[in-house]
Chain A
Amino acid sequence: MKPAPFTYHAPTTLAEALDALDRVGEDGKVLAGGQSLIPMLNMRLASPAHLVDINGVAGLGTVDVDATGVRIGALARHAQVAGHDAAHSVVPLLRQALQLVAHPVIRNRGTTVGSLAHADPSGEMTAVLSLLGGSMDLARKGAARTVPAAEFFVGPLESCLEPGEMAVSAWFPVPPPRTGTTFREVARRHGDYAMCGVAAAVTLDADQRVLSARTSYISMTATPLVLDLTEAVAGKPFDAADWAAAGQLSADQLDPEPDIHATADYRRHLGVVLTRQALTDAATVAAAQPQGATR
């Protein structure tokens, strides 16, 4: 459990980091929080020839909040984002999801952007970014681009990041008014990757009737799956809507793979149950908001 030899780069500015990444191309890997990369290096499941450690780069640890959303910098740690009250007040789903990410010691070092760049379909933040319709800001030497969540995740542990490119920040937009969100999951042990996890967002109209009911999932698909389940509950008062029907509606669209912890049948069953529970909770949260607010 010792990594293979690699060349270590320690840039102090973003320009230096991008320059280093540009030079090493396919042989390079960005080291941020290291909570996934370091174990992979130690087990020699990954052996990049160059590690570009961005921990010394100034200005990447930011969490910027305005009325339209939250922009999270590449070095912002999970714990920092989860504890950010201003971010929580405009995009509560961030904290709701982050408290389910692993354990405190991992959240203290692991970065939110790093977790997204890792593109693990069991990572809570992939479902959050996808459900909210957020995007990733990517940069390379001399160029930058913004990629919507739907295009960023390409496969399991695979994003559209190209050699020489780096995820600089992630953008989580504020959901529409009268929207409530929740994150529910079932894991084998506290803090484990979930066997199934569901992020839900329910938007009500001014009369507390359902305008929109959407969910996204972790550990169920190779890339984040977002479902619009509104048709089962559209126009119904939030407390009289048939959320179980919305859960059932998700069943046909969930086609999980089995693994050593859960059969496909059980995962699908969890998906249906958690969909109902998460939507019910999200609707209750939405209804409890003062008119025009978002929680």
Chain B
Amino acid sequence: MTTKQFGAPVQRTEDVRLLKGNGRYLDDLGQDALAAAFVRSPHAHARIVDIDVTDALEVEGLVAIYTHEDLPGRVGEPLPLLIPHPAIVAGRTGYALAKDRVNHVGEPIVMVVASDRYVAEDVCGRITVTYEVLPPVVGVETARDAKHLVHEDVAGNVAGHLVQEVGDAPAAVDSAPHTLELDLKVERSACIPMEGRGVYARWDADDESLRIYTSTQTTTGVRAAVATKLDLPLNRVECIAPDVGGGFGVKIMHPWPEEVLVPWAARLLDREIKWTEDRREHFVSSAHERGQVQKVRVGFDDEGRVLGLDVKIWHDNGAYVPYGLIVPIITSTQLLGPYKPGAYKVEFWSLYTNTVIVTPYRGAGRPQGVYAMERTMDAIADYLGKDRVAVREANFIQPDEMPYDHHMIFQDGRPLIYDSGDFPGSMDKLKALVGWQDFEDYREQARAEGRRVGIGVACYVEGTGVGPYEGGHVVVESTGKVVVSTGLTSQGQGHETVFAQIVADELGVPLEDIKVTTGDTRKMGYSVGTFASRAAVMSGNAIGIAARNVRTKALRIAGEALEVDPGDLEIVDGIVRVKGSPTSSMPLGTVAVLSNPLRYAFDTASQAATQFVVGDPDKPPVAEDDEPGLEDRDFYSPAQSTYANGMHAVIVETDPETAEIKILRYCVVHDCGNIINPMIVEGQIHGGVAQGVGGALYERMEYDENGQLLNASFMDFLMPYVTEVPDRIEIDHLETPSPLNPLGIKGAGEAGVIPSAAVFASAIEDAEGFTITSMPISPSELYALRQRFAAGEIPALRGRSATASTATTPTPVTEATTR
């Protein structure tokens, strides 16, 4: 029998190519193309008074300079608002090139096309833009105060406002035995893929068609957007994602200004043009995420059960909202995690600021929601003097309550109904993995050595595999090789491997005979894109369905040829054979030949398929309900998302003197349903945890009050090195299959990063004995908190110290009463 591939830790087939340097990334293409470069705004908020290109015109190698007034028709109109939502109060999007005003540092104003990038940048340096600087709005609080407006016609800087409510949460909070209030904050970070964005376009004047290569997470999205902007029929535009060096969300946003302008200019000039984003451009002109201010009011009983949860969120969406309100919607719905509060109300305001736009970054609003909820759980435990895990367990949705309906609407417009999960089971595994019960002994031992340690825990539920659909196309060639394509794109996830594993099991062919292509509109024109941990769920199932259909057809054709019942056939190592009688067989490639009745033979194999040889002379060569070829294209479109979950624990040590924060152990229990490839899932978790460590302890977007990004380089934006990430991430899996899809899988791509801010806050708080309310946290900030704690300005954890304190975070707003 062929070894089952689904579930096997198969090594990634794409790695040989990628690790040997044979990947083809955007900047590897179009070596003879003209180069584009952009003059970008140095001001966060300004009116453009004048653009003077006089000094630039003499530069040798200059081809063209474009400003907004050169952009015709739709190219000059605002970029699309991709995801309209009724809660958008005032949706504003930018222009491909700024018209009259700029709203963040880095906004493109002038496009230069030249013989190469050096010359293009020389030209940019000679263009003088005169500005009238306007007061900038930077940070959530400033935006909320609305003393100044980002967009003159948007009152209060409010882009969107949404309330979702289940039960009467404010009343439930007020009437609960105990009440707490928390003020929380999360700073901005960003995806920061190794490869930035990039676009390369060429116009075929003879064919009147456009080909776009772009480093994107959605080629069908870019194709549709560019075709619309350029007024081209969809079938005259091809869009291809070459190898992509990471996305993490920033490349699902589209069309970026450059994705419209480069193809537009390529067609206008009838020249190949390429733009490759540099690192500074990426920091100031791509997208950020995470920045929120939150206020939580929670009412609970003596066991820590949440009776009412009332949350307000102020979300910084940057200068524009092209991606709608997806991030705060996810925050406000996924905040609930594995818990079932008695009543829940969440209200958010999505606010404009004069900073880079905010679009989903791996986790996409969940890290902030989990942070709010888990900070609340820790605060409840501390208030009651209870074990932090016990309080969580008291609030868990139980396995027998699945599917669990929260009676809310998720980001996909569908009901928030958890399909599967065993939260108490996951927590049991985590407690065993990290040694939760024994930690106090370890703490004492460390204390005796003069060391300060703390443990933290955090749980999350993640809606994955959101719709609307993906497709799979599976073809068996006459060589017996299988070609698979799906429309969504790959940025390093290992799709070529896992999709091949699914097909290998269905078709009984070895992995090395399967070739997977993603993100090429020439091969699959219908697709949504890669985001929301959806690729395995959506394309995996679509490909699985298509492969099963191909199998059925192969067995039918082979059954006819071998004159046996298809039910008696199996496919092993690419050979269709009669079960128990392997001598009666034919290669799958021969079946492919037979599936396509020919008039013309071109080799010996095809001679076997000419209409004089095969088929019943009384019937049409291709039956009415059939098609030639051993192939199928099918789609998977679920009614709702599937919900993965996980729980993390971390043990940290904080240096009593230098306030440095060291990770001693990091443990993960993860449930993504059936696992296609455990090695790849663990790799996803490792990468996610690494990004989470960055977001919790190192990274932030350091904007000054003028809206200048002070750390727009890898010198000062502190992405963790391998030296900052734990050497070992301890992982245990729980597999509760999703009942929603044939493969029983749930997404895994974002999991590792989601609970990081929460779990580190929990552990550092535990080590230090005072509350942590703002993340990320640096040694300098921890030192400052220690100084304030010593001065009595922030309260001790109650569980740790009997010292009375008048400070107010978190604040008991009603006296504790015991029933």
**A contact set with B: CB distance below 8 Å:** 1-5, 43-44, 186, 188-193, 195, 260-263, 265-266, 269-270, 273
Query: Is B118 in contact with A2, judged by CB distance below 8 angstroms?
Result: yes
Within 8 A of A (CB), among B692-721: 698, 702, 710-711, 713, 715-716, 718, 720-721
Q: Which residues of chain B come closer than 8 Å to A195, judged between CB atoms?
A: 779-780
Query: Is A186 in contact with B658, judged by CB distance below 8 angstroms?
Result: yes
Query: Is B780 in contact with A4, judged by CB distance below 8 angstroms?
Result: no
B279 located at the interface, meaning its Cβ lies under 8 Å from any Cβ of chain A in the complex: yes
Q: A189-B721, A190-B724 are in contact. Are A2 and B117 (CB under 8 A)?
A: yes
Q: Which residues of chain B come closer than 8 Å to A43, judged between CB atoms?
A: 280, 713
Q: Which residues of chain B come closer than 8 Å to A1, judged between CB atoms?
A: 121, 278-280
B137: shortest Cβ distance to chain A, in Å?
21
- Chain B 768-780 interface 0/1 with A at a Cβ cutoff of 8 Å (1 = within): 0000000000111
Q: How far is the CA of A3 from the CA of B117 in the complex (A)?
A: 10
Query: Is B724 in contact with A189, judged by CB distance below 8 angstroms?
Result: yes
From the candidates A5, A189, A261, A265, name the one contacting B720 in the complex (CB within 8 A): A189
Q: Which residues of chain B come closer than 8 Å to A266, judged between CB atoms?
A: 659, 779-780, 783-784
Q: How far is the CA of A157 from the CA of B721 in the complex (A)?
A: 27
Q: How far is the CA of A266 from the CA of B715 in the complex (A)?
A: 20
From the candidates B118, B657, B713, B784, name the one contacting A273 in the complex (CB within 8 A): B657
Query: Is B118 in contact with A186, judged by CB distance below 8 angstroms?
Result: no
B684: shortest Cβ distance to chain A, in Å?
23
Query: Is B779 in contact with A5, judged by CB distance below 8 angstroms?
Result: no
Query: Is A260 in contact with B280, judged by CB distance below 8 angstroms?
Result: no
Q: How far is the CA of A213 from the CA of B720 in the complex (A)?
A: 36
Query: Is B780 in contact with A261, judged by CB distance below 8 angstroms?
Result: yes
Q: Which residues of chain A come closer than 8 Å to B657, judged between CB atoms?
A: 273
List 11 interface pairs A-B (beta carbons < 8 Å), by A numbering: A1-B279, A2-B118, A188-B718, A188-B778, A188-B779, A189-B720, A192-B718, A195-B780, A261-B718, A261-B778, A263-B783
Q: How far is the CA of A43 from the CA of B718 in the complex (A)?
A: 19
A118: shortest Cβ distance to chain B, in Å?
14
Q: Which residues of chain A come closer than 8 Å to B658, judged between CB atoms?
A: 186, 270, 273
- Chain B 268-291 interface 0/1 with A at a Cβ cutoff of 8 Å (1 = within): 000000000011100000000000
B723 located at the interface, meaning its Cβ lies under 8 Å from any Cβ of chain A in the complex: yes
- Among B279, B698, B720, B780, the one with the most A-chain Cβ atoms within 10 Å of its Cβ is B780
Interface size on B, residues (CB 8 A): 30
B122 located at the interface, meaning its Cβ lies under 8 Å from any Cβ of chain A in the complex: yes
Query: Is B784 in contact with A263, judged by CB distance below 8 angstroms?
Result: yes
Q: How far is the CA of A273 from the CA of B721 in the complex (A)?
A: 26
* For the complex of A and B, 10 pairs with smallest distance between CB atoms: A190-B723, A1-B278, A266-B780, A262-B780, A2-B118, A260-B702, A266-B783, A273-B657, A2-B121, A186-B658
Query: Is A260 in contact with B118, judged by CB distance below 8 angstroms?
Result: no
Q: Which residues of chain B come closer than 8 Å to A188, judged between CB atoms?
A: 698, 718, 778-779
B660 located at the interface, meaning its Cβ lies under 8 Å from any Cβ of chain A in the complex: yes
User: What is the chain A residue whose CB lies nearest that of B712?
Assistant: A43
Q: Which residues of chain A come closer than 8 Å to B660, judged between CB atoms?
A: 186
- Among A3, A265, A266, the one with the most B-chain Cβ atoms within 10 Å of its Cβ is A266
A195: shortest Cβ distance to chain B, in Å?
7
- Chain B 83-127 interface 0/1 with A at a Cβ cutoff of 8 Å (1 = within): 000000000000000000000000000000000011001100100
Q: How far is the CA of A192 from the CA of B724 in the complex (A)?
A: 12
- Among B657, B710, B713, the one with the most A-chain Cβ atoms within 10 Å of its Cβ is B657
Q: How far is the CA of A190 from the CA of B721 in the complex (A)?
A: 8
Q: How far is the CA of A265 from the CA of B787 in the complex (A)?
A: 10
Q: Which residues of chain A come closer than 8 Å to B121, judged between CB atoms?
A: 1-2, 4, 44
Within 8 A of A (CB), among B592-648: none
A144: shortest Cβ distance to chain B, in Å?
35
Q: Which residues of chain A come closer than 8 Å to B122, judged between CB atoms?
A: 4-5
- Among B658, B716, B720, the one with the most A-chain Cβ atoms within 10 Å of its Cβ is B658
Q: Which residues of chain B come closer than 8 Å to A186, judged between CB atoms?
A: 658, 660, 779
Query: Is A4 in contact with B125, judged by CB distance below 8 angstroms?
Result: yes
Q: Which residues of chain B come closer than 8 Å to A262, judged between CB atoms?
A: 778-780
- Chain B 664-707 interface 0/1 with A at a Cβ cutoff of 8 Å (1 = within): 00000000000000000000000000000000001000100000
Query: Is A265 in contact with B718, judged by CB distance below 8 angstroms?
Result: no
User: What is the chain B residue whose CB lies nearest that of A195?
Assistant: B780
User: What is the chain A residue whose CB lies nearest that of B714?
Assistant: A39
Q: Which residues of chain A come closer than 8 Å to B698, judged between CB atoms?
A: 188-189
- Chain B 364-379 interface 0/1 with A at a Cβ cutoff of 8 Å (1 = within): 0000000000000000
Q: Which residues of chain A come closer than 8 Å to B780, judged between CB atoms?
A: 195, 261-263, 266
A231: shortest Cβ distance to chain B, in Å?
24
Q: Which residues of chain B come closer than 8 Å to A192, judged between CB atoms?
A: 718
User: What is the chain B residue whose CB lies nearest that of A273?
Assistant: B657
Q: How far is the CA of A193 from the CA of B657 in the complex (A)?
A: 20
User: What is the chain B residue whose CB lies nearest that of A43?
Assistant: B280
User: What is the chain B residue whose CB lies nearest that of A272?
Assistant: B657
Q: How far is the CA of A4 from the CA of B125 in the complex (A)?
A: 9
Query: Is A189 in contact with B118, judged by CB distance below 8 angstroms?
Result: no
User: What is the chain A residue whose CB lies nearest that of B782?
Assistant: A266
Q: Which residues of chain A come closer than 8 Å to B724, judged between CB atoms?
A: 189-190
Query: Is B784 in contact with A265, judged by CB distance below 8 angstroms?
Result: yes
B707: shortest Cβ distance to chain A, in Å?
15
Query: Is B721 in contact with A260, judged by CB distance below 8 angstroms?
Result: no
Q: How far is the CA of A173 from the CA of B236 in the complex (A)?
A: 73
Q: How far is the CA of A261 from the CA of B660 in the complex (A)?
A: 13
Q: How far is the CA of A5 from the CA of B702 in the complex (A)?
A: 32
A sample of 20 more A-B contacts (CB under 8 A), given A189-B720, A263-B784, A266-B783, is: A1-B279, A2-B117, A4-B121, A4-B125, A43-B280, A43-B713, A44-B125, A186-B658, A186-B660, A188-B779, A190-B724, A191-B721, A191-B723, A260-B716, A261-B780, A262-B779, A265-B784, A266-B780, A266-B784, A273-B658
